[in-house]
Amino acid sequence: MASSRDDFIIAIRSAFLKKSTQQKFSLLSLILTSAFIILLSSFEFKVIRYLKIGINEIVYRSSFVVSIPENFIKNTFFEVSEYTTFFNNYKKDKKELNQLKSNYVSSQIIQSENRELKELINDYVSSSDKILAKIIVDHESPFLKSIIINKGSKDNIKIGTNIYDQSYLVGRVTEVNYKTARVLLLSDLNSNVPVTIAPQNIQAIITGDGDNQGQIKYIKDGFSDEITQESIIYTSGTGAIFKSGIPIGRLSILQDNLTSKFNVEFYSDFTQLKYVFADVITKTEIQNFDNNDSELNDLDNTPMNAKLKILEDELKIIEDTNLKFKEENEILKSEINNLESEIIDFKNKIFLQKEKINQFDIDEKELNFLRLNLEYGHKCRKSFFNNKGFVVGTSEYKQCVLNKGRINNG
Amino acid sequence: MVNLKTKSSFLRLYSWLPIIILFISVLNEFDFNYLNLEYFSFNFPYILIFYFTLKDFKHFDYFLVFIAGLVNDTVVGLPLGLSSFLYILICIATSYLRNITIRPHPIKDWFYFLFIISLINSISYSVLTLFFSYNIILIDYLINNFFTFLFYLVFVYLFKQYLRGLND
C-alpha cells in the first residue's frame, strides 16, 4: 500500500518537476505562472491592462494574417453562392431601395426633431459620428460570441460604443486597445439589451442564446400575452448603454404544449459581417447664457453654433422635402395627363360603339318591318278590294304593318 | 549543396510542424465552428497537445504551449492565463501517464484523454462561471468534450503518419 503511494508521489513529482533535455521550463513553474496571470488579470491592474492591450494588438493582427487563407476559401464559397441568387436579389434590392429612399426624408425630419428634443432634455448636445471598421477576427467560438474590429482608442472608440451593421445594432465594445477593439455581439449569452417591443410598446430585456438568435430574458408579468408574432424589437435606451430606437430584430413565438418561448431573429446576420459602423459619440456641454448681448452675439459660442447648425439642418431637410414634393407633383401631373388622354380614347371608343349599336337597332327594326310587310303588307295596302288601306311608303302604312295589319281608326 | 541545404531547412520546418499547427489553430480557431453545424464543436489544441506531449516529442516545447494558451485567451476573449493553465494541466497529465505506463495502449490513452479533457473542461467551466461570472451553456461544453473525444482517434491516425514520415 505504502509502496503504491510512494510510486504515485514519485510519478507526480516527476511530472511536475522533471525537465526533459529539450524543455526550458518545468511544468510546475509554468502552471504557477498561469495561475499568477489569471489572478492578476482578475484584479485589473493598470500594468497588466497595458500588457494585455499590447498582447492583444499583436495577437489580433497575427490572427488576421493567419486567417487570410481560410477567409479566402470561406469568402469564395459565399461569393459563388451569392452569384447564383444575384439577379433575384438585385430586383428585390432595387424595390427596397426605392422604398427606403422615400422613407429617408421623413426619417431625417424625425431625427432632427429627436435631436432637438434631446437637447432640451439633456444639458448637452451629443453629436454622433459613425466610423467604418473592418472585422479582423471573427472566429466562431462555441461559447463566446465576439468579434475584433480594426478601430481602437486611437479612433475614439470607448467601452460601450455601439456597433452597427448598416443601421441595425450588432453589439457593443467590451475591450479597447490602441488600434483594435473587441465587440460583444448581441447573440452572446452575456449580452443584455433593454428593448421596446413595437407596436405594443412593451419594455423587455433580451439576451443572446449563444447561437445566432436572441431571446427575451425579462418581461413584466402579464405583458407576454400581448406580444404577437413578427413584433419589431428596437432598443429602448434604458440605462444609457445603447441609444434608443435602434432596430434589432423581429420576434418569433415558439409554442410548446404549455409555455411559449419568445425568440428574437436579428435583422443582421452576425456570421456574415465584414464591415461594421462604430458610433463614436462626442458630447458638447451647453453653457448657461447670460443676458449679455456681447456674449449672445459671439459667433464662436458653441451651443449657439450648434443651434444654428440644427436650424441649418432643418432648413436643408425642408428644402429636400420641398424638392421631393415638387418631384412628386411633376410625376402626378404627368400621370394626370396620361389619364386624361386615356379618358379621351375611351370616350371615342364608347361613341363608336354607341353608333354601331344604333345602326344595329335600325337594321333590326328594318328587318322586322320587311318580315311583317311580307306577311301583312296586303292587309294594309290600298287597293281595289281594300279601300281602307294606305298608300305604300306612308307612315300610316308602316304603322299598319307593324300592327300586323290592324288599322287604327283613332 | 544547395539542394541539401533546402532539404535540411524543409526537414527542420517539418519537425516543428506540430507547434506551428498549434499556433495556427489557436490564432485561427481551427475547429470548423464557422460551418454553423448545430451542436458541433471540438477542441483541436487539446488533441494536439495531449498526443505530442504524451509522445514526448522533442520539438513540442512546454513554454511554447504556454504561449499558445495566452494567444488562445486573447483570440477567444477568455481571462488571460486560463488556456495556458489548462494546456499545462494536459502536459502534466501526459507526463504523469508517461511515468506510470510501462506498455502504452492506444485505447487506454484514448480513455485517459477523455478523463483529462473532462477534468480540464470542468475546471474551465467552474473558473469562468464562479470567478469571472461568464454565462456559459453547460451542454455546449459537454458536446465539445464529446466531439473532442471522438476526433482524437482520427487525429491520432494522422499524427502517426506524420511521425512515420519524420522517422523515414
Which of B80, B128, B143 is the best residue to mutate to test the A interface, defined by the most A CB atoms within 10 Å of its own CB?
B80
Average pLDDT over every residue of B82-91: 92
Number of A:B CB contacts under 8 A?
Answer: 148
For the ranges A21-25, A51-55, A196-200, B115-119, the lowest mean pLDDT is seen at A21-25
Distance CA A350, CA A328 (A): 32
Per the model's pLDDT, the better-predicted residue between A167 and A372 turns out to be A372
Q: What is the pLDDT of residues B31-43, one digit of tens each?
A: 555 555 666 778 8
Which pLDDT score, from 0 to 100, does residue A344 have?
92
Which pLDDT score, from 0 to 100, does residue A295 have?
47
For the ranges A2-11, A54-63, A160-169, A330-339, the lowest mean pLDDT is seen at A2-11
- Chain-centroid distance of CA A377 in Å reads 84
φ, ψ for residue A65, nearest 5 deg: -65, -45
Q: A136 pLDDT exceeds 50?
A: yes
Structure confidence at residue A210 as a pLDDT band (50, 70, 90): confident
- Grid coordinates given for B163: 511521425
Distance CA A58, CA A63 (A): 9
A285 close to A164: Cβ distance less than 8 angstroms: no
Q: B4 pLDDT exceeds 50?
A: yes
Name which of B33, B127, B136 is nearest A140 (Cβ-Cβ).
B33
Q: A301 pLDDT exceeds 60?
A: no
With a CB-CB cutoff of 8 Å, which residues 44-63 of chain B face chain A? 56, 58-59, 61-63
Distance CA A194, CA A337 (A): 52
Distance CA B76, CA A59 (A): 11
Q: Select from 2.60.40, 1.10.3470, 1.10.1760, 1.10.150 the CATH code of B2-167.
A: 1.10.1760
Structure confidence at residue A103 as a pLDDT band (50, 70, 90): confident
Q: Taking all residues of chain A, what is their mean pLDDT, rounded to a whole number? A: 80
Distance CA A70, CA A396 (A): 105
Average pLDDT over every residue of A306-316: 79
- Grid coordinates given for A32: 504557477
Which pLDDT score, from 0 to 100, does residue B37 have?
61
Rounded CA Rg of chain B: 17
Q: Is B20's Cβ below 8 Å from some Cβ in A?
A: no
Distance CA A358, CA B144 (A): 88
Which pLDDT score, from 0 to 100, does residue A410 have?
45
Per the model's pLDDT, the better-predicted residue between A332 and A300 turns out to be A332
Q: A125 pLDDT exceeds 70?
A: no
Query: Cβ A15–B92 below 8 Å, yes or no?
Result: yes
Which of B34, B38, B62 is the best residue to mutate to test the A interface, defined by the most A CB atoms within 10 Å of its own CB?
B62
With a CB-CB cutoff of 8 Å, which residues 105-124 of chain B face chain A? none
Per the model's pLDDT, the better-predicted residue between B112 and A5 turns out to be B112
Task: Look at residue A382 and give its three-state secondary structure.
Answer: coil
Question: Quick one: what percent of chain B has pLDDT higher than 90?
Answer: 36
Q: Taking all residues of chain B, what is their mean pLDDT, rounded to a whole number? A: 85
Q: Work out the burial of residue B151: count CB atoms within 10 Å of its CB; fewer than 13 is exposed, 13-18 middle, 19 or more buried.
A: middle
Distance CA A162, CA A145 (A): 16
Peptide bond before residue A142 is cis, with ω within 30 degrees of 0: no
Closest of A308, A245, A281, A202 to residue A114, by C-alpha: A245
Distance CA A136, CA A403 (A): 101
Other CB atoms within a 10 A radius of the CB of residue A1 amount to 5
Name which of A14, A30, A56 is nearest B99 (Cβ-Cβ).
A14
Where exactly are the structural domains of chain A? 122-286
Q: Which residue of B has its CA nearest to A192?
A: B135
Structure confidence at residue B48 as a pLDDT band (50, 70, 90): very high
Q: Which residue of A has its CA nearest to B38?
A: A211
Q: What is the pLDDT of residues A152-195, one digit of tens each?
A: 888 889 888 999 987 888 999 988 888 889 999 998 888 889 99
Structure confidence at residue A354 as a pLDDT band (50, 70, 90): very high
> In sequence order, what are the beta bridge partners of A196?
A203, A234
Quote the Cα angle for A288-A292-A298, to 5°: 80
Structure confidence at residue B156 as a pLDDT band (50, 70, 90): very high
Q: Select from 3.30.700.30, 2.40.10.340, 3.40.50.720, 2.40.50.100 the CATH code of A122-286.
A: 2.40.10.340
- Grid coordinates given for A80: 459563388
Q: What is the pLDDT of residues A255-289, one digit of tens each?
A: 776 677 888 888 888 888 888 999 887 766 555 54
Query: Cβ A38–B70 below 8 Å, yes or no?
Result: no
Query: Cβ B137–A143 below 8 Å, yes or no?
Result: yes
Length of chain B: 168
Q: A51 pLDDT exceeds 70?
A: yes
Q: Which residue of A has its CA nearest to B94?
A: A15
For the ranges A107-121, A167-181, A335-349, B47-61, the lowest mean pLDDT is seen at A107-121
A142 close to B41: Cβ distance less than 8 angstroms: yes
Average pLDDT over every residue of B9-14: 79
Structure confidence at residue A363 as a pLDDT band (50, 70, 90): very high
Distance CA A278, CA A270 (A): 15
Buried b vs exposed e over A192-208: b needs ≥16 C-beta within 10 Å? Answer: bbbbbbeeeebebebbb
CB-CB neighbors (< 8 A) of A23 in chain B: 61-63
Which pLDDT score, from 0 to 100, does residue A409 have?
55
Name which of B62, B82, B92 is nearest A23 (Cβ-Cβ).
B62
Distance CA B37, CA A353 (A): 69
B40 Cβ contact partners less than 8 Å away, ≥ 6 residues apart? B32, B33, B143, B147
Distance CA A267, CA A249 (A): 5
Q: B47 pLDDT exceeds 50?
A: yes
Give the ipTM of the model, two decimals please.
Answer: 0.82
Average pLDDT over every residue of A142-149: 82
Structure confidence at residue B66 as a pLDDT band (50, 70, 90): very high
Q: B100 pLDDT exceeds 70?
A: yes
CB-CB neighbors (< 8 A) of B82 in chain A: 34, 38
For the ranges A111-115, B30-34, B43-47, B142-146, the lowest mean pLDDT is seen at B30-34
Per the model's pLDDT, the better-predicted residue between B96 and A23 turns out to be B96
Query: Cβ B27–A59 below 8 Å, yes or no?
Result: yes
CB-CB neighbors (< 8 A) of B58 in chain A: 20-22
Where exactly are the structural domains of chain B? 2-167
